[in-house]
Amino acid sequence: MEGNSSLDNENEIIYILDDLKKWNNLFTIDHEYYFDGWAIFMTEKNLYPRYIVIFKSYKEKTFTIKSYEVYFSELYTKKYKELIQIDKISNIKDLLREIKEIIYGKDFHNYAKKIIVNKIK
């Protein structure tokens, strides 16, 4: 593991997970460790759920957030459509602010705006 010590990474994850607990009524929250980083997964408890992924590489000092719309194909297989990706979030305060904005609909708004702009062109 490069970059921060494993204790620093663990404390960072615990802090973020503790803050995300306020969304437990709306999301199922899980986390996993990988060879090159860690990720937190938030699955919305909804008929048409969103799937939000927070990732941080051990080599980088920035976070990445991706939000997906989850739907089912005609063969009832689960599919994901990316709604928004935010890279290079430099600190936990900005990360938590972005997560809150996504939960309140920033991802849907940006996706709808992109569709409208593409139709106008």
> CA triplet 94, 98, 100: central angle to 5 degrees?
120
| Residue with the larger pLDDT of the pair 25 and 48 | 25
Report helix angle 6-20 to 92-103, nearest 10.
Answer: 30
Mind listing the pLDDT tens digit for each residue in 52-98?
999 999 998 899 999 998 888 888 888 888 888 999 999 999 999 99
Q: Give the model's pLDDT for residue 1.
A: 45
Mind listing the pLDDT tens digit for each residue in 7-37?
888 999 999 999 999 999 999 999 999 999 9
Rounded mean pLDDT of 87-115?
Answer: 84
Determine the 3-state secondary structure of 51 from DSSP.
strand
On the question of pLDDT at 3 being above 60, the answer is no
Residue 12 has a CB neighbour count (10 Å cut-off) of 16
Q: Give the model's pLDDT for residue 108.
A: 65
* CB proximity list for 48: less than 8 A, separation 6 or greater: 69, 70, 71
Rounded mean pLDDT of 39-61?
Answer: 91
- Based on its alpha-carbon atoms, the radius of gyration of the chain, rounded to whole angstroms, reads 16
H or E element, residue 116: helix 106-120
**Tokens for 116?**
């409208």
